[in-house]
């Protein structure tokens, strides 16, 4: 039976731990896995522009001995030129796996429903599971443990925030979310995360103040205030998020050696300042690199059968 990765909730705690363990092995000995997906082909359907997601999947697939094929937004016109169901059924006859980077999460769900090969969510407006896996893997790599740590997310309650809530709750990481009123994570997401946190012993807390969110945090995480598709809200959001910038003053309210994280691309001088982004505490490019390593582990687990 095929398995998809559409949200972090598609993975059990054991499966996440197995992915992290495999990622360790992939980082230590790249050559050992050079033929793992030999003869396999991955197709990337992208409705949004990308740097890290496209390059990390294409290079990762190459390093595993497989092939990848990129389909730009105007090549398929998913759901317009051709129905999502027909695209899924057709591509399933050609390839061994599909990555979709889209706006509406329902596109991921429909594609996965109709495809007979694994579907991986490379980003939707609801979820960014590969990013969250890379983020928590990076925290574990740097701090050696996860359970009992506190991650403070400062900014918009968006897809990245949703995925971090799910994975932190599962892995026993406390998560404080600092958002302006009206920009909090979806209530259903918070409810699900708190339910998972009860089992792991984690705490999920919501604040409308950035300084309260980062107090005693081991990690401070931020993202752009206006995501792709929200460009017309940029000016309004810039005003709403005043006071939620990750700057030196805010960072000093957390632990002395707090890790600074950002999924990139960053709008320097808006949600995060240059001095913080370039500081020794920032592990931003480590998490960007780890996107590839974690995704290679995901590809092996889903396609290597």
| Residue 36, pLDDT above cutoff 70 | yes
Domain 8-128+291-303 has CATH 3.40.50.1370: yes
Catalytic residues: 101, 128, 131, 223, 263, 291
- Looking at residue 226, its pLDDT comes to 84
User: What is the average per-residue pLDDT within 20-30?
Assistant: 97
Contacts from 62-65 at CB under 8 Å and sequence distance 24+? 63/30, 63/33, 63/34, 63/296, 64/33, 64/34, 64/35, 64/36, 64/37, 64/40, 64/296, 64/299, 64/300, 65/34, 65/35, 65/36, 65/37, 65/38, 65/39, 65/40
Q: How confident is the model at residue 228 (pLDDT cuts 50, 70, 90)?
A: low
Choice between 77 and 147, residue whose per-residue pLDDT is larger: 147
Residue 229 has pLDDT above 80, yes or no: no
CA-to-CA dists, residue 76 to 48, 57, 95, 157, 295, angstroms: 13, 19, 16, 30, 24
What are the extents of the domains in the chain? 8-128+291-303, 131-287
Report the pLDDT averaged over residues 59-65: 98
**pLDDT value at 13 more than 90:** yes
Question: Do 8 and 136 form a contact (C-beta atoms < 8 A)?
Answer: no
Whether 8-128+291-303 shares its CATH topology with 131-287 is answered yes
Residue 161 has pLDDT above 80, yes or no: yes
5 or 82: which leads in pLDDT: 5
User: Mean pLDDT, to the nearest integer, of 5-17?
Assistant: 98
Average pLDDT, the chain: 96
Task: For 67-119, write each residue's pLDDT tens digit.
Answer: 999 998 888 878 778 899 999 999 999 999 999 999 999 999 999 999 999 99
Could you tell me where the beta strands, DSSP code E, fall in 214-292?
A: 219-222, 259-262
**Which architecture, in CATH terms, is 131-287?**
3-Layer(aba) Sandwich (3.40)
pLDDT at 73: 85
* pLDDT tens string 191-204: 999 999 999 999 99
């Amino acid at each position: 039976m095929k398995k998809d990765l559409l949200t972090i909730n598609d993975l059990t705690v054991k499966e996440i731990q197995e992915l992290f363990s495999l990622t360790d092995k992939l980082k230590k000995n790249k050559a050992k896995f050079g033929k793992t997906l030999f003869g396999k082909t991955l197709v990337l359907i992208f409705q949004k522009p990308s740097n890290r997601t496209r390059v990390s999947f294409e290079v990762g697939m190459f390093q595993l001995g497989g092939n990848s094929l990129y389909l730009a937004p105007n090549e398929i016109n998913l759901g317009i030129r051709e129905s999502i169901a027909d695209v899924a059924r057709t591509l399933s006859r050609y390839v061994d796996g599909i990555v979709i980077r889209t706006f509406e999460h329902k596109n991921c769900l429909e594609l996965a429903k109709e495809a007979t090969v694994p579907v991986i969510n490379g980003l939707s407006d609801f979820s960014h599971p590969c990013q969250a896996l890379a983020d928590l893997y990076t925290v574990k790599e740097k701090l050696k443990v996860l359970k009992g740590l506190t991650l403070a997310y400062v900014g918009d309650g968006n897809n990245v925030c949703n995925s971090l809530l799910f994975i932190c709750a599962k892995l026993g990481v406390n998560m404080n979310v600092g958002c302006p009123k009206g920009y909090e994570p979806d209530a259903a997401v918070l409810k699900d995360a708190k339910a998972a946190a009860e089992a792991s012993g984690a705490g999920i807390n919501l604040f409308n103040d950035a300084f309260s969110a980062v107090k005693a945090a081991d990690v401070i995480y931020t993202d752009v205030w206006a995501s792709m598709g929200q460009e017309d809200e940029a000016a309004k959001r810039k005003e709403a998020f005043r006071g939620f910038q990750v700057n030196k003053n805010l960072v000093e309210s957390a632990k002395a050696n707090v890790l600074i994280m950002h999924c990139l691309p960053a709008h320097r001088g808006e949600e995060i300042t240059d001095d913080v982004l370039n500081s020794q505490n920032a592990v931003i490019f480590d998490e960007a690199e780890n996107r590839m390593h974690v995704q290679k582990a995901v590809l092996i687990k889903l396609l290597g059968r």
